[in-house]
Amino acid sequence: MRGLRAAMPSARCFRGSRFFRVSLSAGSFAAPLLSLSISSTAGLTHERERPVVDQNPPPRSSCKAVDPDYARNLGGFADLCRRTLRRWIFPAVPPWQVALPLDIVHRIYRSDVFMTAHAWTRRPLLALGLVAGAMIAGLAIPTTRAAAQQAPAPVIAAAADLKFAVTEIAAAFKADTGKEVKLSFGSTGNFATQIREGAPFQLFMAADEKFIRDLHKDGFTRDEGDLYAEGRIVLMVPHGSLLKPDAAMDDLAAQLAAGRITRFAIANPEHAPYGLRAEEALKHRGLWEKVRPHLVLGENVSQAAQFALSGNAEGGIIAYSLALAPEVRSQGTFALIPHDWHEPLLQRMALLKSAGPVAEQFYAYLKTSKARDIMKSFGFVLPDEG
pLDDT band, very low/low/confident/very high, at 3 (cuts 50, 70, 90): very low
Q: Is the pLDDT of residue 37 over 80?
A: no
pLDDT band, very low/low/confident/very high, at 132 (cuts 50, 70, 90): low
Q: Is the pLDDT of residue 194 over 70?
A: yes
Calculate the CA dihedral of residues 235, 240, 241, 245 and round it to 10 degrees.
30
Those residues whose C-beta lies under 8 Å from the C-beta of residue 111, and which sit 6 or more positions away, are 131
0.75 exceeded by pTM: no
Distance CA 232, CA 269 (A): 15
Predicted pLDDT at 313 = 96
Domains in the chain: ranges and CATH:
2-149 (no CATH), 155-230+345-385 (3.40.190.10), 232-341 (3.40.190.10)
Which three-class secondary structure state does DSSP give residue 159?
strand
pLDDT band, very low/low/confident/very high, at 85 (cuts 50, 70, 90): low
Predicted pLDDT at 26 = 36
Express each pLDDT in 309-358 by its tens digit: 998 999 999 999 999 999 999 999 999 999 999 999 999 999 999 999 99
| More confident call, 57 vs 210 | 210
Express each pLDDT in 353-379 by its tens digit: 999 999 999 999 999 999 999 999 999
Q: Is the pLDDT of residue 144 over 90?
A: no
> What's the mean pLDDT in 97-125?
59
Predicted pLDDT at 385 = 79
Share of the chain above pLDDT 90, in %: 59
Express each pLDDT in 237-276 by its tens digit: 999 999 999 999 999 999 999 999 999 999 999 999 999 9
Q: List, as own/partner pairs, every contact residues 24-31 make where C-beta atoms lie below 8 angstroms and the sequence separation is at least 24, other chains included.
A: 26/71, 26/72, 26/75, 26/76, 27/76, 28/76, 28/77, 28/78, 29/77, 29/102, 31/102
